[in-house]
Structure 1
Amino acid sequence: MNPAIALPDAKTGRRWRGRLQLLLILAVVIGPMILASAMYQWRFWVPETRSYHGELIGTGLTRAGLGVTAEEGRWQLLVTTPDACGQDCQQLVFLARQIHIGLNRDATRAAHGLASGEGLDAELDARLRREYPQLDRYRVQLPVYRQATGGRAGAQLWIVDPHGNLVLRYDSRSKGKAILDDLRYLLKISQIG
């Protein structure tokens, strides 16, 4: 056997082994990114379970897009109603306050508010001022609100982030414990507010 002929085969074998190692490293690094992008784009292997209880607002809708003008800076439990504040609205206002109190040490990071399409009657307004002194009050621009909610009737409770983005929506049948759990989780993972 001629040693001069065997040397190029050894070099070629090392070259292919090096190329194979490079391809494996690239596959390990880039492969998961490509797989994750494909999973997001074509919605396969996406878990059907969720860790929140309300309706996730993933459309980029903001509080202003809902027809409510308010200051930003803290998380907010916002109760909205296109009509006068009826029984379901009053129940959600009470629930929002209880959830706000239930935040304990994180209560300073949140607020609760009421936005109604019609003005409150004098008796209800006086009662709300007396029993809910920290309740923020806003007016809803009805055409904007109806378009943003698809004409949904009745009172709704929204969790709004410090930038004014709507995160989760709940109806009047929602349980306070579930909303509190969702808000606590959001405050825990949030880097804002």
Structure 2
Amino acid sequence: MRRQRLKLLALIAIFAVPMIVAWAMVEWRIGIPEQRTAHGELAPEVPGLAEWPLDGGRDALKPGDWVLAFDCSRDCEMLADQWWRLHRALGREAPRVSRLRIGGEGPALPGESLAQWARTPDWQTPGRLWVLDPRGEVVLTYTGEVEARDVLDDVNRLLRMNRDNPGASELEVGQR
């Protein structure tokens, strides 16, 4: 009878101890990293791309792509070149990302879509960059003073964590 009770207590401990340890970690902040993994800011108040007051530009974006949208109302030539270089630095992941330049003068750089603000929204500031997911929702936002290296780190992390479905192309081949 004693052996059965020990087995029951061991079984209860297997499930209870991790819960107690997790609760203690959260309650007393033990073993939880304090560092940030993203350099950008979350912006839940920014609506999805479909609701942005834009003239043009959205139709040229490829469906299913991540989007780097940036406001080009000041220092446009420098910003456009900076985000073009970042796009090139993505290497083999670059085809998964599109760039949307909002505002500014001059022709579009390769792989860039142009749009203008129909009206300026209250959440927009000059030089701001937004990273949007394939559904058009804002994932991260950056001020105009952000380092391109920090944005590259974040975009690489997002692309790595959100891989394309590798089985999708195999499924299409199998259906032919």
Q: Please give the TM-score of this superposition, normalised by the length of structure 1.
A: 0.66
Equivalent in 90, 93, 113 of residue 100 of structure 2: 113
Change (3 A) 1:111 1:17: same
Aligned: 1:142 with 2:130 = no
Equivalent in 3, 6, 11 of residue 14 of structure 1: 3
Conserved? CA contact 2:71–2:125, under 8 Å? no
How far off its partner does 1:47 sit? 3.1
Aligned: 1:128 with 2:107 = yes
Change (3 A) 1:91 1:170: farther
Change (3 A) 1:14 1:174: same
User: CA–CA distance in 2 between the matches of 1:14 and 1:80?
Assistant: 70
Conserved? CA contact 1:92–1:157, under 8 Å? no
Alignment correspondent of 2:68: 77
How far off its partner does 1:136 sit? 0.8
The 5 Å alignment of 1:37-116 reads: 39=26, 44-45=29-30, 46-57=32-43, 61-68=47-54, 70=58, 71=61, 72-80=63-71, 85-87=73-75, 89-116=76-103
User: CA–CA distance in 1 between the matches of 2:141 and 2:21?
Assistant: 32
How far off its partner does 1:166 sit? 1.1
Conserved? CA contact 2:68–2:129, under 8 Å? yes
User: CA–CA distance in 2 between the matches of 1:56 and 1:103?
Assistant: 22
Q: State the Cα RMSD in Å.
A: 3.2
How far off its partner does 1:140 sit? 3.3
Structure whose alpha-carbon radius of gyration is higher: 1
Q: Which has the higher helix share?
A: 1
Conserved? CA contact 1:91–1:172, under 8 Å? no
Conserved? CA contact 1:92–1:156, under 8 Å? no
Percent of counterpart pairs with the same letter?
Answer: 25
Change (3 A) 1:182 1:33: same
Between Structure 1 and Structure 2, how many residues are aligned? 159
- Long gaps (5+) in structure 1: 1-10
User: CA–CA distance in 2 between the matches of 1:181 and 1:98?
Assistant: 14
- Long gaps (5+) in structure 2: 166-176
Q: Please give the TM-score of this superposition, normalised by the length of structure 2.
A: 0.72
How far off its partner does 1:164 sit? 1.1
User: CA–CA distance in 1 between the matches of 2:43 and 2:20?
Assistant: 28
Change (3 A) 1:163 1:24: same
Change (3 A) 1:173 1:33: same
